Structure 1
Amino acid sequence: MTTTAPPRVNPWALSGFWFGTSFHWLLLFAVLIPADMLRFVGEADKGKSQGLLIALGAAIAMLLPPIVGAYSDRVGRRLSLIQWSVVVNVVGLLIMAFAPNVWVYGLGFLVLQIGNNAATAPYSALIPQVVPPEQRGRYSGVMGLLQLSGQLLGGVVGALVGFQLLPREVTFILIAALLLFTSTLTVRFVPEPPARPAGPAAPRVNWLALFRHGPFFWVFVTRALFGLGQYSVQPLLQYYLRDVIGNFRLGGVDLGNAVTANSVMLLAIVAGGIASTLLAGRVSDRVGRKPVIYVAGTLMAVAAVALLFAPNLPVVLALAVVFGLGFGAFTSVDWALGSDAMPSAASYARDMGVWHVAFTAPQFISAPQGLLLDWGNAHGHNLGYTLVFGVAASFFVLAMLLVTRVRGVK
């Protein structure tokens, strides 16, 4: 039986959507949601309210991608599903932008999560479906670079929000416009992958059976641990800067407030990430994915612990660059490692949808970490930050250790 060769696609076009969605999530999690929660519920409940909101979104992010992915595999469509899902995502953004209270705001966030996660499963299937295995490191590196570039732009926009040069409502509209533009570029310039040859339909979503495939299971676990580390601290950095650092002077410039300082910190993380992303992706094609993961986990864990001892904002920013170097290295091999571990070409979207859950389900950690932050700070001076950052570092170390269990992937 002859099969149609997968289409060759430009890696930059393939990764366009990921640029927009990275810009989208950075501004939401690191800038807009923390500030809006403080505005809606006040100081005492900011941590737990934000954690609950993100956890509710994570429930959708955990359940929806495998279901949509299985449907995408069955009907053989990727791009149209991405396009319509992004429209739902944009509706959620607009609801959040003009919400009069925290309840409507939360509803908008749930609509947004439905749209974004419905797009993720068919989009995630594109790399293993159209990229040859020997080039996945390069393509994953480009995707990581555009992910970090989207976050870089998000940090710049976040600084404008912090300086009160950009109204929050306009920021939500800007996110929606960029997400529509970048997703349209991907849909327009990436050809619909050819349908798989006729044969048995992809099996129904069966998580237990999928996890019995050893390489997939351990890739899932290590990706989840990296996600737990990231979501333990990312939504709380704005509060950390305000409560622990306090002084927002950088050289002779006073950044003025924690929102602006947080955006500058995120820019430092992204700058470090961009410096390592493309190089690490290409290196992984030669020496393997695991050595890159070892370096990434070490850098991220060290930086997370060292932040507890940072005396001022310049030191915080230097540590942010170190963290970014590790985060960029991890990002550059993340998609390649996941693609290498897929058990079957007949169910790419479903399985990549399940794989994506490893990075969205950890958003649940924001709720207990938010509670831990509020509890710790109530019982000791900044004790909550010591607990939260320490837990995050332990997740990174554990991920680095367990990636050794991934068999058949170098």
Structure 2
Amino acid sequence: MVLTTASLDAVGLGLVLPILPALLGQVGSAASTIPMHVGLLTALYAVMQFLCAPVLGRLSDRFGRRRVLLASLAGATVDYLILALTSSLWVFYVARAVAGITGATNAVTATVIADVTPPAERAKRYGWLGACYGGGMIAGPVIGGLFGGFSPHLPFLVAALLTAVNLTLSLSMLHETRPDLPIKSQESASTSAPFRLQAIQGVVPLIAAFGLVQLIGQAPGSTWVLFTQQRLDWSPVEVGISLSLFGLVQVLVQAVLTGRVVTRLGETGTIYLGIVADASGLIGLAFVTGSWAMMPILAALGVGGITVPALQTLLSQRTPEQHQGRLQGHLASLNSLTSILGPIAFTTIFALSQIDADGTLWFCAAALYIPCAILVTRNARSSG
């Protein structure tokens, strides 16, 4: 059920992308202001996830995972209905803010996986979680574009229906994975000082490495269209096909390869492999001159997707069970923060270098793996 929830969260984020300009036009926005509103609404969603993911994580530690997930699904269902029916711009802003809050459940779903999965199997399960999210991000724009052709409001009705079905199934099938957690949390709150993740040896460097990897991932996500249209003269159709292929490769790698690679190389070895693969793909983009050369680059970037599940596994293994929600909340919040800062940083780099050196942004992104590798290496030495 939690994998289904993760998929639907991603669908909800992705389906609005192709229909947002038309929807803003219908609610009365002037054509000249639509780009501004698109940027503000996208940022608003990410900001609310950044602020609320740690809160949901802590709430799940205190009150249980099931209650938080059910409340979020109920809120998301109502929110989608409002988005489908509203004809007011300010209501749309409020609804997107609520969508950011209810969409912050990825912290809780990751916590559920930590609750029910032995440490040796967590990388595989986190790979599945990433694959579900990636699949939802592929399906979301398809749903939005398909049903948005009839009406910009219709995709939200579809999303509301899917979320309501998920809520109904969760009510009967989703069980609390930590039934003793509220008692333990209350006892610890009354008998000890507030818990801080920084107190766990090795967690802070790994969280920093996690943030760097997520930030690097924003480079292709934010500049792919701009770069491929300029360097390779791709049409919108070719760009769309390449993005779909990239998404499918990442989904397959995370769903199929992550667990096997971790079994053979261990979490730290898997992180190194992911760093090398992704950095190679980024550097390859700086030199690419033809469409066919993009195939091995897409494969390398796809293999780089194993880094995040391996890091997430190391972090979950270091953190006490009763504080898994807090950890995953911080990770989800950090991911949201990079989705705000990354596009600004990398599109700015591209804008400043596109005339004479449009590959600069890929070198900058790959260079961020140097401190990331140092952090992981220091962690491995200190824990070894």
For the superposition of Structure 1 and Structure 2, which TM-score range results when normalised by the shorter chain? 0.7 to 0.9
Contact 1:156–1:267, Cα closer than 8 Å, also in 2: no
Which secondary structure state, in structure 1, belongs to the residue aligned with residue 188 of structure 2? coil
Counterpart of 1:71 in structure 2: which amino acid? L
Shift of 1:309: 4.0
1:364 correspondence with 2:337 = no
* Alpha-carbon distance in structure 2 between the residues aligned to 1:321 and 1:375: 27
Letter in 2 for 1:394: A
Aligned pair 1:405/2:378, yes or no?
yes
Alpha-carbon deviation of 1:180?
4.3
Q: CA deviation at 1:53?
A: 4.2
Q: Which of 307, 318, 340 is the aligned partner of 2:317?
A: 340
Which residue matches 2:46?
A: 58
Query: Is 1:232–1:389's contact at 8 Å kept on the other side of the alignment?
Result: yes
**Partner residue, 1:395:** 368
Which one-letter code corresponds to 1:360 in the other structure? Answer: S
Change (3 A) 1:382 1:235: farther
Cα 1:217–1:264 shift into 2, 3 Å: same
**8 Å CA contact 1:51, 1:366 repeated in 2:** no
Question: Is residue 122 of structure 1 aligned with residue 120 of structure 2?
Answer: no
Aligned residues: 376
Q: Using the alignment, how far apart are the partners of 2:123 and 2:369 within structure 1? A: 22
Shift of 1:84: 2.0
CA distance in 2, matches of 1:84, 1:323: 36
The offset of 1:93, in angstroms, is 4.3
TM-score by length of 1: 0.75
Deviations 1:190-215 (A, max 9, x none): 421221365723589968x3224232
The whole-number CA distance in structure 1 between the counterparts of 2:39 and 2:361 is 13
- 8 Å CA contact 1:90–1:112 kept in 2: the answer is no
Structure 1 residue runs of 5 or longer lacking an equivalent are: 1-12, 249-257
Report Cα offsets for 1:259-289 as digits up to 9, x if no partner.
x444322221123224422222233144311
Q: Is the 1:149–1:274 contact (alpha carbons within 8 Å) kept by the matching residues of 2?
A: yes
The letter for the 1-side match of 2:65 is R
Q: Aligned residue for 1:135?
A: 121
Once the two structures are TM-superposed, the CA of residue 218 in structure 1 deviates from its matched residue by 1.9
User: 1:145 aligned to 2:131?
Assistant: yes
Q: Which residue of 1 aligns with 2:355?
A: 381
Q: 1:69 to 1:376 in 2, by over 3 A?
A: same
The alignment partner of 1:201 has SS state of helix
Residue 113 of structure 1, CA deviation = 0.4
- Separation of aligned partners in 2, 1:165 and 1:320: 30
Task: Indicate the residue corresponding to 2:180 in structure 1.
Answer: 195
In structure 2, what is the Cα distance between the partners aligned to 1:405 and 1:262?
A: 39
SS where residue 406 of structure 1 aligns?
Answer: helix
Distance across 1 between alignment mates of 2:74 and 2:193: 26
C-alpha offsets along residues 5-35 of structure 1, whole Å, 9 cap, x if unaligned?
Answer: xxxxxxxx44222222233334456x55689
Q: Could you tell me which of 242, 260, 269 is aligned with 2:246? A: 269
- Kindly indicate whether the alpha-carbon contact (under 8 Å) linking 2:14 and 2:139 is maintained by their aligned counterparts in 1: no
Q: Which runs of 5+ in 2 are unaligned?
A: none
Q: Does 1:292 align with 2:296?
A: no
Which residue pairs with 1:71 in the alignment? Answer: 59
Seen in structure 2, the aligned counterparts of structure 1 residues 239 and 222 have a Cα distance that, compared at 3 Å, is same
Cα deviation code 1:301-329 (max 9, x no counterpart)? 232343344445544455333312222x2
Given that 1:78 and 1:122 are in contact with CA atoms closer than 8 Å, whether structure 2 keeps it comes out as yes
CA shift in 2, pair 1:334/1:375, >3 Å? same
Instruction: State the distance in 1 between where 2:96 and 2:280 align.
Output: 33
Match of 1:80 among 57, 62, 67: 67
How large is the Cα RMSD of the aligned pairs?
3.9
Q: Where does residue 352 of structure 1 map in the other structure?
A: 328
Aligned equivalent of 1:171, options 122, 141, 155: 155
What's the % identity of the aligned pairs?
Answer: 19
- Alignment check: 8 A CA contact 1:89 1:115 kept: yes
